[in-house]
């Protein structure tokens, strides 16, 4: 059974949030304390890809499910705050339950 579009978005959101934490808590200290700038380049590239995927999927789902501006803006803000996507997952689970 394929995953619902909202479940897929939730998985992307959690991956994006995880990559952001890795970038902030592991890669940045490695760059500035250990002189390893490649860590930020790799983690930053992965995070950047996941962020763009998150925003693209958000735009698609906003249109498909007629999500209002407030919810969509909250979803976007969650993606730029550390731990934001993890906290926002509660609301995505509610949307997923309502859609099924």
The first and second tokens of residue 86, run together, are 């993890």
Give the global pTM. Answer: 0.93
- Asked if pLDDT for residue 12 goes beyond 90, the answer is yes
DSSP string, 2-36: PPPHHHHHHHHHHHHHHHHHHIIIIIHHHHHHH--
CA distance linking residue 50 with residue 16, whole number of Å: 5
> Range with the lowest mean pLDDT among 68-72, 79-83, 96-100?
96-100
Residue-level pLDDT at 2: 82
Which pLDDT tens digit goes with each residue over 19-70?
999 999 999 999 999 999 999 999 999 999 999 999 999 999 999 999 999 9
Residue-level pLDDT at 35: 96
Q: Long-range contacts for 42-46 (Cβ within 8 Å, ≥24 apart)?
A: 43/19, 46/19
């Amino acid at each position: 059974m394929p995953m619902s579009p909202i479940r897929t978005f939730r998985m992307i959101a959690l991956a994006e949030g995880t990559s952001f934490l890795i970038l902030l808590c592991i890669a940045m200290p490695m760059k500035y304390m250990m002189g390893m700038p490649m860590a930020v380049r790799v983690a930053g590239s992965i995070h950047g890809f996941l962020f763009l995927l998150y925003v693209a999927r958000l735009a698609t789902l906003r249109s498909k499910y007629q999500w209002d501006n407030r919810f969509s803006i909250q979803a976007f803000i969650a993606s730029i705050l550390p731990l934001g996507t993890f906290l926002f997952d509660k609301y995505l689970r509610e949307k997923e339950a309502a859609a099924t």
